[in-house]
Amino acid sequence: MNADVWNGAGRRIFLQEVGTRDGLQAEEAFVPTAEKVALVDALSDAGLAKIEVTAFVSPKAIPALRDAEQVLREIRRKPGVVYSALVPNVRGAERAIESRADELNLVMSASESHNLSNLRMTREQSFSALAEVAAIARSAGVAVNVSLSCSFGCPMEGEVPVETVLGWCGRYVGTLGAHGVTLCDTTGMAYPTQVAQLARAFRERWPDTELTLHFHNTRGMGLANVLASIAAGADRFDASFGGIGGCPYAPGASGNVCTEEMAHALALMGYDTGIDLEKLLAAAARLPALVGHDVPSQIVKAGPRLALHPHPADFEQIRERALARAAA
């Protein structure tokens, strides 16, 4: 597909919030449970299509998300919004299903080194473990998405061949029956031409599988990568409000592409993101106080494009002087 990327023409783009998982997992501060619940509710209200609410991982590995059960139990479920949770193993799946997650997001890395560092298993071990998790999800009637970290490069190994990535996609879609796959640029190594190639190849091979692109803005290419993906036929993106986030096992990693920056840009280009920008900005504006530092979002700082500023106080004098000079 060669969509005219410059003209959204009302085309639907699905934005999936991952800030409460990918974002908060990297924060030192523990955001209180009630605040997490309020953030998820605000994000539902702002029009996100899917929200990765939390992760059912070891509380020792990621203490910031040790309240996963309580958060999922206490959020207000807005009809139509998919509430997803990251799950690394059977234990996580049981906890997530018990907490009524709509979707389990299983994670493994396309690179062997990153998989070992992050999940302490070889990729083959991850695949068999996740096959078991997928079977549990299937019997509980819960959807399965598989996130492939380092799909666009590994910080330890460098290039990850396209065929390696597509090979794992094939096993998850074909053998495991995953309903969706997320190609993750875990450490911001993706660039637009590469992204377009992989997104197009995926779309051609698995036209009926939900494809999500997950970019980090580590090297400033996030939004360019989003546009390249749209041109290649993709319509679903993970993003984090405030632009928070980062992988604890990837040195120098930084936040996801920022939800409000993406929503702002895509709306200007005529895409339908379903997002109420004002509500999303209000949620993002709460983050600095909760995480204890400034957040990367440029829109939180600068406001939307037409957030106008007053003229200078002496504007009338400036104008008069300029006109007088012109008349002289």
Residues in contact with ligand COA by CB under 6 A are 25, 55-58, 60-62, 88-89, 91-92, 95, 107, 118-120, 149, 247
**Residue 61 binds which entry of Zn ion, ligand COA, none, CB below 5-8 Å type-dependent:** ligand COA
Instruction: Write down the least CB distance from residue 3 to ligand COA, Å.
Output: 30
Q: How many CA within 13 A on the CB side of residue 318? A: 5
Cβ atoms of 45 and 275 within 8 Å: the answer is no
CA–CA gap between residue 198 and residue 163 (Å, rounded): 10
Does residue 27 interact with Zn ion by CB under 5 A? Answer: no
**Residue 56 binds which entry of ligand COA, Zn ion, none, CB below 5-8 Å type-dependent:** ligand COA
**Residue 51 binds which entry of Zn ion, ligand COA, none, CB below 5-8 Å type-dependent:** none
Q: What's the one-letter identity of residue 283?
A: A
Q: Report CA torsion sign: 232, 233, 238, 242.
A: positive
Cβ atoms of 85 and 96 within 8 Å: the answer is yes
CA–CA gap between residue 268 and residue 249 (Å, rounded): 36
Which residue in the list 150, 154, 184, 247 is annotated as catalytic? 247
Closer residue to ligand COA in complex, CB, 65/196: 65
Cβ atoms of 145 and 134 within 8 Å: the answer is no
Closer residue to Zn ion in complex, CB, 8/246: 246
Instruction: Write down the least CB distance from residue 87 to ligand COA, Å.
Output: 7
**Residue 85 binds which entry of ligand COA, Zn ion, none, CB below 5-8 Å type-dependent:** none
Closer residue to Zn ion in complex, CB, 99/147: 147
CA–CA gap between residue 239 and residue 266 (Å, rounded): 13
Collapsing DSSP states into helix, strand and coil, what is residue 58? coil
Closer residue to ligand COA in complex, CB, 89/229: 89
Does residue 22 interact with Zn ion by CB under 5 A? Answer: yes
Closer residue to Zn ion in complex, CB, 22/67: 22
- Distance between the two ends of the chain, CA-based, in angstroms? 61
Instruction: Write down the least CB distance from residue 93 to ligand COA, Å.
Output: 8
CA–CA gap between residue 70 and residue 66 (Å, rounded): 9
Instruction: Write down the least CB distance from residue 189 to Zn ion, Å.
Output: 12
Tracing tokens 């504006």 back to the chain, one arrives at 285
Does residue 185 interact with Zn ion by CB under 5 A? Answer: no
At 245, give phi and psi (nearest 5°). Answer: 130, 175
- Clarify whether 150 is annotated catalytic: no
Instruction: Write down the least CB distance from residue 142 to ligand COA, Å.
Output: 15
Structure tokens belonging to residue 111: 């690179």
**Residue 120 binds which entry of Zn ion, ligand COA, none, CB below 5-8 Å type-dependent:** ligand COA
What DSSP character marks residue 64? Answer: G
- Which positions are annotated as active-site residues? 247
Binding residues for Zn ion, rule: CB under 5 A, are 22
